[in-house]
Structure 1
Amino acid sequence: MTANILSSTRLGFRGPQSVSAIGLGAMGMSGMYGAHDEAQGIATIHAALDAGVNLVDTGDFYGMGHNEMLIGRALKGRRDEALISVKFGALRDPSAGWIGMDGRPAAVKNFLAYTLQRLGTDHIDIYRIARLDPNVPIEDTIGAMADMVKAGYVRHIGLSEVGAQTIRKAHAVHPISDLQIEYSLVSRGPEAEIFPVLKQLGIGVTPYGVLSRGLLSGSKPTGPGDFRAHLPRFTGDNALKNQQLVDVLHQLAAGMGATASQVAIAWVIARGKALGVDMVALVGSRKPAQLDEALGALKLELSAEDLQRIEAALPADAVAGTRYDAYQMGHLDSEKQAKIQVK
């Protein structure tokens, strides 16, 4: 395992001021990508901390609380080494189905109470609603979160998958640390309207899906229990077309003495610097070996010419299929506002 090679960055003007350049996304440790191994998950979290990764991202709905309890066990005795980022608000039923969002002020405080208990901690470093609740003004949700900041249960407030208008409304109520949003070589939508607003307001970014859920590394859905089996980019003709992009990236990476994953991660980090936005890339490693490969991206120093060459080989509009299915895309405030801006 590569040790302590991570440079630190701030995450927004008013957010954490010393965050590792790469953060660990823990969702896959509680399903979503098929079978998971708790021991491997805990070993990966420990390896991340040992390497200097201090941002661990989860959601209270990952595994219906399983992910938080796993992280709580992994951080026992090491809580002060980690910044914990938690998404909340997504509602699930006993069959693991998705049944909506709840951003009501009372719900915010209720979700947080259970999260603190599962994680075994007295505070959350960054707390964010996973998706905008269309039935609750964002000002009301952020106001309740601000109450939790004043009470000491939350250190910083973040957002997830919202558009520029919502970001401005939320930031007017309480300073926002960072926006979590999908961003990669093949998901570059935020560059047009969202990132400029973040730069203006001094808000950071924790991009997820930097490998487009493994697409750019060549990973394939493992079976019906892998939610990627239902995503447009991994199915039908789209999968065949996208494999051509993956092949191109593998060839480019080989010429740079790196893996496709490392080039894709390094591109996100370098692109963030070029755009002038504080950016900490989340990698969804489930095993120490995967994490070790991801950290190898930090050894790549991509020049402006490298970025141009990579982007020319994988144009932003070359990917086939949307990042979620039509139903989920319809619930993304970030996508709705983008369409309004186009009109």
Structure 2
Amino acid sequence: MTLRSITLGTGQHQLETSALGYGAMSLAGAYGAISEADSLELLDHVARREVTFLDTANIYGDGESERVLGTFLKHRREEFVLATKVGIEKGAGVGKRRARGDAAYIKDQIDQSLRRLGTDHVDLYYLHRVDPETPIEESVGALGELVTAGKVRAIGLSEATGDEIARGHAVHPITAVQSEWSIFARDVEAHVLPTCARLGIGFVPYSPVGRGLLTDSFDAKALPAEDIRQNFPWFMPENLPQNASLLEQVRAVAARLDLPTAGLALAWLYQQASALGVQISPIPGTRTAAHWDELQHGVDVALPGEALAELDALAGQVSGDRSFDPRWVSGGREGLLPRS
């Protein structure tokens, strides 16, 4: 599986990386247990598939994801573009944490992340969530100071609104914006992606297969009680039957095209991004090599117009918001998630 490269951002802060990255939240047990040995084996498999972009965050498993990546990268750090995040303060679990983006917190957390990752710098450092009590200009200014200090090569924002992206970019060049984007979650197309296209900012879609919903393996009747998805509206009992029926429509399109459903979901993203004029590197996460190969199968697939039209009609029929709290994501603060 030859994997092409893309460029996130422009100018001196741009990053060249693979067109598909690995999202390492799964290495911290968010979707079920995985041993360190299995995590390292999976990362090696991903690397053999020519993936050079690895994404994590300080909050994933309270640092466990970063620690595992640090072990993997010990003798091969320069082979990868490494991204991590700051800006969610540890709390009592999903929905009970708070965003924190003050300069002192950002500067403290980078050193802790670097220690866990076993490196003296990260290539891309995101503000994980915009702190409603701290101006975005202060948060981005602090991130920019870390670039000057040599601890960070480039900076990014996650789940920022179009306005917040533009304000932050005026303080220091933003290389990438990370937000949820998939066949089922499309609010970023209204303001966020046009802003990225206008400013030459790359885009990194997380949950490109809807937290596993847009796959052949998802079973609506077999979601473990401890699974993090139980906290998200799409997967709640009142919404899941409708969303599972929409999944069957996606699976039918994939079957007609002889594609894995996850591969179809990624192929849709790349075509949509091209039409909107943005460079993307999605970061799906998985705990198995077989699932990874299904995902990567969709990187360079061109979908016919009738398939695109069929898929485009589905987002408006999804039941429930993509987040447990609309204020936690860009679309909620932009008034684009009206169903909560």
Using the size of structure 2 for normalisation, the TM-score is 0.93
Contact 1:163/1:335 (<8 A) preserved: no
CA distance in 2, matches of 1:86, 1:174: 18
Could you tell me which amino acid in structure 2 is paired with residue 7 of structure 1?
R
Secondary structure of the corresponding residue to residue 317 of structure 2: coil
Q: What is the 5 A alignment of 1:1-343?
A: 2=1, 5-14=2-11, 15-93=13-91, 98-217=96-215, 218-220=217-219, 222-312=223-313, 315-325=314-324, 328-339=325-336
Secondary structure of the corresponding residue to residue 179 of structure 2: strand
Give how far 1:96 is off: 8.2
CA distance in 2, matches of 1:95, 1:141: 24
Contact 1:181/1:206 (<8 A) preserved: yes
Contact 2:86/2:126 (<8 A) preserved: yes
Secondary structure of the corresponding residue to residue 131 of structure 1: coil
Contact 2:181/2:208 (<8 A) preserved: yes
CA distance in 1, matches of 2:245, 2:152: 44
Give how far 1:267 is off: 0.5
Contact 1:49/1:81 (<8 A) preserved: no
Could you tell me which amino acid in structure 2 is paired with residue 289 of structure 1?
A
Q: Cα gap change, 1:240/1:96 in structure 2, threshold over 3 Å: closer, same or farther?
A: closer
CA distance in 1, matches of 2:234, 2:212: 11
Secondary structure of the corresponding residue to residue 330 of structure 1: helix
Q: Cα gap change, 1:132/1:17 in structure 2, threshold over 3 Å: closer, same or farther?
A: closer
CA distance in 1, matches of 2:310, 2:99: 41
Give how far 1:94 is off: 7.4
Contact 1:90/1:98 (<8 A) preserved: no
* Identical columns (%): 35
The C-alpha deviation readout for 1:287-323, integer Å capped at 9, x for no partner, is 22221111111252224444224324xx220111111
Contact 1:59/1:67 (<8 A) preserved: yes
Task: Please give the root-mean-square deviation of Cα atoms over the aligned residues, in Å.
Answer: 2.0
Task: Give the number of the structure with larger relative contact order, counting CA–CA contacts within 8 Å between residues 6 or more apart.
Answer: 1
Give how far 1:241 is off: 0.8
Secondary structure of the corresponding residue to residue 323 of structure 1: coil
The C-alpha deviation readout for 1:177-214, integer Å capped at 9, x for no partner, is 01100000010111111111111111110001111101
For structure 1, which segment, 190-199 or 290-299, has the greater mean C-alpha deviation from structure 2 after superposition? 290-299
For structure 1, which segment, 43-52 or 105-114, has the greater mean C-alpha deviation from structure 2 after superposition? 43-52
Contact 2:40/2:68 (<8 A) preserved: yes
For structure 1, which segment, 200-209 or 300-309, has the greater mean C-alpha deviation from structure 2 after superposition? 300-309
CA distance in 2, matches of 1:170, 1:86: 18
Could you tell me which amino acid in structure 2 is paired with residue 319 of structure 1?
V
Using the size of structure 1 for normalisation, the TM-score is 0.92
Contact 1:27/1:67 (<8 A) preserved: yes
Secondary structure of the corresponding residue to residue 199 of structure 1: helix
Listed as ranges, the gaps of 5+ residues in structure 1 are none
The C-alpha deviation readout for 1:125-173, integer Å capped at 9, x for no partner, is 0001111111111111111111110111100010000101111110000
Could you tell me which amino acid in structure 2 is paired with residue 171 of structure 1?
H
Contact 2:100/2:129 (<8 A) preserved: no
Q: Cα gap change, 1:202/1:302 in structure 2, threshold over 3 Å: closer, same or farther?
A: same
For structure 1, which segment, 206-215 or 297-306, has the greater mean C-alpha deviation from structure 2 after superposition? 297-306
CA distance in 2, matches of 1:17, 1:138: 23
Could you tell me which amino acid in structure 2 is paired with residue 261 of structure 1?
A
Contact 1:25/1:57 (<8 A) preserved: yes
CA distance in 2, matches of 1:299, 1:172: 34
